[in-house]
């Protein structure tokens, strides 16, 4: 996993290469292993900070391709092997999975990017002035951009942009590519419908998830699992632990919480059952408050729910980064299999549940995926999300609403639980959902702390900041300290999609 920076300018000035280098320096935490940069012709500059996961010896970027193509990419291409077989005319020069994205682009143009399976954001260019920027269909990997004085700047995080450009920064939309000639073009939707065999859907759900987890273990380094003790991360850990045992190794798992938090207890039970090499991070109020500024600056948001879960995630990523360079997480399962209570309370009409699930899957890039990426990358750790693999999303979103409604006992995600019967202890398989901020104990520490320290008058005086609570006001102030000129809740692009 990495951090990328690029700029394209029809009339570049002498200050732009230095601007690119300064932007790259601001996100060095995303790729502490090595840094690369290069001009491409006289209109483009590409920069890359690398966290080495695949192709350790020869995966430095910018990657070079035929006809002068050069590319920087942040991500993992999980169908790299299949793409290499289909691109036999292309002479691959490295073992980097990212090179298959460059090969696809160089041979078939940006129209072919929908063939990539994985999480990625890229910028590529040629010396004669061609330029392409693109982002995966769900926005699992971040990309931001801004246009100023005829120059378009790109970076993996908002904090990379010069302060004078920050008011212009917007999220590059998922599933789109951009060229100077064609503008912004959509190549893939977040959710693509497909026909599902109504027979034995639990078996098919299990098969598609097992296949995804195995592909997400692709790496030249050891991969661990974030284990909260909830259903989603426990399913991922169960599949990964079985694969590691087949290799004659023990999977490393990591959990976090306050001393008596339910997540820590549940994670221990799962780890014992699976026989993993388990590690814990325990935090208290003082430690949680102490990292809030760093967490808000990293997540680049002040949404209270997001920060409340990002704080324990910070300690978790810090712990895991001391043992592995990549982890699998359970992100996305709730949005695919209707894990949140409000889905069932507010969307009971036929078809309404699916519409809401499609909507929330499409918003993940600005919420949980943003938190997941930033907190892990702040510690030089790659987070992978097997539930959000294209095949899993397509399968899950094609299941009928009846499969995802609450079971007779009112437990959510009954279909997913039944699909993995026997893989986990019954107490975990049917454990009711707790959101991460609650299960880890962070909510019980943070919310009362800020309620005591922010007055009603102070909250009323700051309503124009779009904050909804005293806790959120505290995070908003930290957000302003870190990103003084970024537009709040900047998740929409200013550029029209063709």
* pLDDT value for 491: 42
Those residues with Cβ within 8 angstroms of residue 420's Cβ, 6 or more apart along the chain or in another chain: 206, 235, 238, 429
The arithmetic mean of pLDDT across residues 248-268, rounded, is 97
What's the rounded Cα separation, in Å, for the pair 181 and 177?
12
Question: Taking 90 as the threshold, does the pLDDT of residue 100 lie above it?
Answer: yes
Q: Residue 138, SS3?
A: coil
The residue among 57 and 182 whose pLDDT is bigger is 182
Residue whose C-alpha is closest to residue 117's, from 157, 79, 170: 79
For a pLDDT cut of 70, what percent of the chain falls above it?
97
Given pLDDT bands bounded at 50, 70 and 90, which one contains residue 52? confident
Those residues with Cβ within 8 angstroms of residue 135's Cβ, 6 or more apart along the chain or in another chain: 120, 121, 122, 141, 143, 172, 173, 174, 175, 176
User: Are 166 and 226 part of one and the same domain?
Assistant: no
User: Are 305 and 421 part of one and the same domain?
Assistant: yes
What's the rounded Cα separation, in Å, for the pair 80 and 452?
52
In a domain? residue 213:
yes
* pLDDT value for 129: 95
Assign residue 92 a region: left if phi > 0, alpha if psi is -120 to 50, beta otherwise? beta
In a domain? residue 497:
no
DSSP per residue over 233-253, as a string? HHHHHHHHHHHHHHTT---EE
User: Are 40 and 174 part of one and the same domain?
Assistant: yes
Per-residue pLDDT tens over the stretch 417-447: 999 999 999 999 999 998 999 999 999 999 9
CATH number at residue 16: 3.60.20.10
The arithmetic mean of pLDDT across residues 83-94, rounded, is 91
* pLDDT value for 463: 76
The arithmetic mean of pLDDT across residues 383-391, rounded, is 97
Q: Residue 159, SS3?
A: helix
What's the rounded Cα separation, in Å, for the pair 358 and 185?
21
User: Are 262 and 380 part of one and the same domain?
Assistant: yes
- Which stretch of DSSP H or E encloses residue 4? strand 2-9
In a domain? residue 193:
no
User: Are 231 and 164 part of one and the same domain?
Assistant: no
DSSP per residue over 266-329, as a string? HHHHHHHHHT-EEEEEE--HHHHHHTHHHHHHHHT---HHHHHHHHHHHHHHHHHTTT-SEEE-
Residue whose C-alpha is closest to residue 309's, from 263, 276, 341: 263
Check if the beta carbon of residue 191 is closer than 8 Å to that of residue 43. no
In a domain? residue 493:
no
Q: Domain boundary at 141, 156, 186, which?
A: 186
In a domain? residue 492:
no
* pLDDT value for 55: 78
Residue whose C-alpha is closest to residue 102's, from 127, 54, 68: 68
User: Are 38 and 125 part of one and the same domain?
Assistant: yes
In a domain? residue 146:
yes
In a domain? residue 487:
no
The arithmetic mean of pLDDT across residues 142-166, rounded, is 96
| Domain of residue 238, residue span | 201-482
Q: Domain boundary at 128, 153, 186, which?
A: 186
User: Are 80 and 129 part of one and the same domain?
Assistant: yes
* pLDDT value for 497: 56
Q: What is the mean pLDDT of the chain?
A: 93
What's the rounded Cα separation, in Å, for the pair 60 and 50?
7
Check if the beta carbon of residue 50 is closer than 8 Å to that of residue 33. yes
Instruction: Report, as residue numbers or ranges, the catalytic residues.
Output: 2
The neighbouring-strand residues paired with 326 are 223, 382
| Residue 97 among known ligand-binding residues | yes
User: Are 218 and 292 part of one and the same domain?
Assistant: yes
Those residues with Cβ within 8 angstroms of residue 115's Cβ, 6 or more apart along the chain or in another chain: 79, 83, 104
Per-residue pLDDT tens over the stretch 450-486: 999 999 999 998 877 789 999 999 999 999 999 999 9
What's the rounded Cα separation, in Å, for the pair 97 and 78?
8
Check if the beta carbon of residue 80 is closer than 8 Å to that of residue 101. no
Those residues with Cβ within 8 angstroms of residue 87's Cβ, 6 or more apart along the chain or in another chain: 100, 103, 104, 107
Question: Taking 90 as the threshold, does the pLDDT of residue 329 lie above it?
Answer: yes
The neighbouring-strand residues paired with 20 are none
| Lowest mean per-residue pLDDT among 148-152, 166-170, 465-469 | 465-469
In a domain? residue 491:
no
Residue whose C-alpha is closest to residue 171's, from 209, 141, 145: 145
**φ, ψ for residue 416, nearest 5 deg:** -65, -40
Residue whose C-alpha is closest to residue 79's, from 362, 390, 288, 333: 390
| Lowest mean per-residue pLDDT among 93-97, 119-123, 260-264, 306-310 | 93-97
Question: Taking 80 as the threshold, does the pLDDT of residue 350 lie above it?
Answer: no
User: Are 213 and 157 part of one and the same domain?
Assistant: no
Check if the beta carbon of residue 446 is closer than 8 Å to that of residue 308. yes
What's the rounded Cα separation, in Å, for the pair 391 and 196?
12
Assign residue 183 a region: left if phi > 0, alpha if psi is -120 to 50, beta otherwise? left
The arithmetic mean of pLDDT across residues 320-332, rounded, is 98
User: Are 31 and 87 part of one and the same domain?
Assistant: yes
Residue whose C-alpha is closest to residue 7's, from 99, 144, 176, 173: 144
What's the rounded Cα separation, in Å, for the pair 373 and 133?
19
**Domains of the chain: total:** 2
Q: Domain boundary at 186, 217, 243, which?
A: 186
User: Are 310 and 432 part of one and the same domain?
Assistant: yes
User: Are 230 and 332 part of one and the same domain?
Assistant: yes
CATH number at residue 376: 3.40.50.620
The neighbouring-strand residues paired with 34 are 50
């Amino acid at each position: 996993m990495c951090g990328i920076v690029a700029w394209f300018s029809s009339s570049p000035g002498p200050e732009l290469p230095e601007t690119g280098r300064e932007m790259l320096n601001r996100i060095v935490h995303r790729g502490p292993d090595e840094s690369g940069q290069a001009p491409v012709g006289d209109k483009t500059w590409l920069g890359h900070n690398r966290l080495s996961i695949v192709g350790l010896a020869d995966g430095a970027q910018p990657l070079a391709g035929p006809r002068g193509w050069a590319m920087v990419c942040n991500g993992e291409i999980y169908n790299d092997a299949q793409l290499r077989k289909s691109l036999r005319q292309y002479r691959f020069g490295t073992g980097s999975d990212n090179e298959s994205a460059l090969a696809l682009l160089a041979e078939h143009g940006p129209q072919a990017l929908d063939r990539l399976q994985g999480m990625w954001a890229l910028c590529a260019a040629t010396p004669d002035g061609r330029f392409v920027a693109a982002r995966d269909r769900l926005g699992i990997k971040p990309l931001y951009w801004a246009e100023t004085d005829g120059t378009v700047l790109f970076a993996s995080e908002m904090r990379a942009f010069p302060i004078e450009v920050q008011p212009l920064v917007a999220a590059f939309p998922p599933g789109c590519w951009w060229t100077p000639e064609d503008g912004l073009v959509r190549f893939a939707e977040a959710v693509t419908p497909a026909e599902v065999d109504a027979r034995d859907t639990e078996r098919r759900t299990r098969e598609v998830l097992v296949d995804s987890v195995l592909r997400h273990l692709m790496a030249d380094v050891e991969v661990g699992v974030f284990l909260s003790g909830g259903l989603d991360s426990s399913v991922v850990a169960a599949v990964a632990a079985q694969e590691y045992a087949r290799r004659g190794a023990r999977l490393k798992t990591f959990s976090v919480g306050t001393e008596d938090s339910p997540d820590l207890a549940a994670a221990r039970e799962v780890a014992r059952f699976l026989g993993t090499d388990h590690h814990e991070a325990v935090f208290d109020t003082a430690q949680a408050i102490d990292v809030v500024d760093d967490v808000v600056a990293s997540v680049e948001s002040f949404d209270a729910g997001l920060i409340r879960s990002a704080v324990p995630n910070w300690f978790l990523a810090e712990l895991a980064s001391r043992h592995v360079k990549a982890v699998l997480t359970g992100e996305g399962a709730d949005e695919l299999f209707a894990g949140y209570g409000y889905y069932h309370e507010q969307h009971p009409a036929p078809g309404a549940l699916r519409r809401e699930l499609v909507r929330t899957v499409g918003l993940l890039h600005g919420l949980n995926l943003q938190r997941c990426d930033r907190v892990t990358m702040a510690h030089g750790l790659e987070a992978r999300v097997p539930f959000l693999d294209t095949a899993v999303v397509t399968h899950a979103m094609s299941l009928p609403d009846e499969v995802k409604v609450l079971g007779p006992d009112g437990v959510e995600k009954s279909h997913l639980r039944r699909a993995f019967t026997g893989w986990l202890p019954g107490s975990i398989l049917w454990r009711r959902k707790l959101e991460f901020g609650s299960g880890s104990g962070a909510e019980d520490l943070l919310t009362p702390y800020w309620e005591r320290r922010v007055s009603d008058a102070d909250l009323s005086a700051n309503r124009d900041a779009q904050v909804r609570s005293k806790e959120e006001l505290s995070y908003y102030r930290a957000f302003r300290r870190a990103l003084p000129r970024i537009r709040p809740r900047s998740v929409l692009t200013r550029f029209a999609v063709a």
